[in-house]
């Protein structure tokens, strides 16, 4: 089925998931929606995030996507069940794949979740992990400094990143947890520094790989893979100014053909 896959996020973070989908499924076309005008979602009330998520998803559905990937942990926590009820196409979030991956990686059933305020307050990762294995210890920490570092293009400034990591994570250095979940899709751009901060002693989980694998499994089951060799230009929709978005896109996924559309979602 040569319809595109819709991928959505509050900003650029979901590109980490889109990149993995492109790597695993190179024949699929992506329509990506970055809601930069209203980014970040992580400090907003969950009901407001739910409203924004539905608006973005409705726009993707209007573009004829065959599946929606909610590549934002906060949006997944706020609205995944609403989207599943609203549409007759598959809707995938990033929390359950990330939780499963952490369970598989941990040897001592002790994990840390680094996430936005909204995701931490929702308890979504704790609930997802305990739904599978109630014996896990889950420590969640809000990291409000991390998303602005990525969105403001400071993620390559090692001094800025290391200061933010030390200020935010210093209380976790002595924990026995052997696995860290990056509970926000912006955080993989800081993954190397986070791994180094813990001295390489903790597994660092990026849910992008598992999310892409789930996308592939669902399409295999429904026989909805795109025809091989029929690659199309990816579409990047930006609600707001696309200049910062395009810089990170070129830096993070330099190998793709794409076109960018700037829109004003609030005008729709």
pLDDT in tens, 56-67: 999 999 999 999
- Same domain? 102 vs 150: yes
Q: Which pLDDT does position 103 carry in this prediction?
A: 96
DSSP result, the chain: --PPEEEEESSSTTHHHHHHHHHH-TT--EEEEE-GGG---TTS-HHHHHHHHHHHHHHHHHTT-SEEEE--HHHHHHHHHHHHHH-SS-EEESHHHHHHHHHHH-SSSEEEEEE-HHHHHHTHHHHHHHHH-TT-EEEEEE-TTHHHHHHTT-TT-HHHHHHHHHHHHGGGTT----EEEEESTTGGGGHHHHHHHTTT-SEEE-THHHHHHHHHHHHHHHT-PPPTT----EEEEEES--HHHHHHHHHH-TT--EEEEEE-GGG-
Q: Tell me: is residue 96 an annotated ligand-binding position.
A: no
- Same domain? 107 vs 201: yes
What mean pLDDT do residues 83-99 have?
96
Q: Tell me: is residue 233 an annotated ligand-binding position.
A: no
Catalytic residue among 72, 124, 147, 226, which? 72
pLDDT in tens, 173-202: 989 999 999 999 999 999 999 999 999 999
- Same domain? 115 vs 167: yes
Query: In percent, how much of the chain has pLDDT > 90?
Result: 79
- Same domain? 39 vs 53: yes
Among the three residues 182, 207, 232, which one is the final residue of a domain in this structure?
207
pLDDT in tens, 95-147: 999 999 999 999 999 999 999 999 999 999 999 999 999 999 999 999 999 99
Q: Tell me: is residue 175 an annotated ligand-binding position.
A: no
Q: Tell me: is residue 73 an annotated ligand-binding position.
A: yes
- Same domain? 187 vs 111: yes
Q: Tell me: is residue 131 an annotated ligand-binding position.
A: no
CATH number at residue 262: 3.40.50.1860
- Same domain? 31 vs 54: yes
pLDDT in tens, 206-238: 888 889 889 989 988 888 888 887 778 999 999
pLDDT of 45 over the 70 cut = yes
Q: Which pLDDT does position 228 carry in this prediction?
A: 86
- Same domain? 184 vs 230: no
Query: In percent, how much of the chain has pLDDT > 70?
Result: 99
Query: Does 72 qualify as catalytic in the annotation?
Result: yes
Q: Tell me: is residue 6 an annotated ligand-binding position.
A: no
Among the three residues 207, 224, 248, which one is the final residue of a domain in this structure?
207
- Same domain? 88 vs 125: no
Q: Tell me: is residue 42 an annotated ligand-binding position.
A: yes
pLDDT band at 1 (very low <50, low <70, confident <90, very high): low
Catalytic residue among 18, 67, 129, 184, which? 184
Among the three residues 168, 188, 207, which one is the final residue of a domain in this structure?
207
What mean pLDDT do residues 50-78 have?
96
Domain count, the chain: 2
- Same domain? 89 vs 213: yes
- Same domain? 48 vs 139: no
- Same domain? 196 vs 263: no
Q: Which pLDDT does position 268 carry in this prediction?
A: 45
What mean pLDDT do residues 62-89 have?
96
- Same domain? 139 vs 176: yes
Task: Determine the structural domain holding residue 178 and report its residue range.
Answer: 95-207
């Amino acid at each position: 089925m040569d319809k595109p896959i819709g991928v959505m996020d509050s900003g650029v973070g979901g590109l980490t998931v889109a990149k993995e989908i492109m790597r695993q499924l190179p024949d699929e076309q992506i329509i990506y929606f970055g809601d930069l005008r209203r980014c970040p979602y992580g400090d907003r009330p969950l009901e407001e995030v739910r409203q924004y998520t539905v608006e973005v998803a409705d726009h993707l559905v209007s573009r004829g996507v065959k599946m929606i990937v909610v590549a934002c942990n906060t949006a997944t926590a706020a609205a995944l069940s609403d989207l599943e009820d609203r549409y007759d196409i598959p809707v995938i979030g990033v929390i359950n794949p990330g939780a499963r991956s952490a369970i598989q990686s941990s040897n001592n059933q002790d994990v840390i979740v680094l996430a936005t305020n909204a995701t931490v307050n929702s308890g979504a990762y704790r609930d997802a992990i305990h739904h599978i294995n109630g014996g896990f210890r889950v420590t969640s920490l809000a990291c409000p400094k991390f998303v602005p570092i990525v969105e403001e293009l400071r993620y390559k400034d090692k001094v800025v990143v290391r200061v933010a990591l030390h200020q935010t994570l210093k209380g976790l250095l002595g924990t026995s947890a052997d696995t860290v979940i990056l509970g926000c899709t912006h955080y993989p751009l800081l993954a190397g520094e986070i791994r180094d901060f813990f001295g390489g002693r903790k597994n660092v989980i990026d849910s992008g790989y598992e999310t892409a694998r789930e996308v592939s499994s669902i399409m295999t089951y429904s026989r909805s893979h795109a025809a091989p060799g029929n690659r199309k230009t990816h579409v990047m929709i930006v609600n707001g100014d696309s200049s910062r978005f395009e810089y990170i896109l070129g830096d993070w996924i330099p190998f793709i053909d794409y076109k960018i559309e700037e829109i004003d979602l609030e005008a729709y």
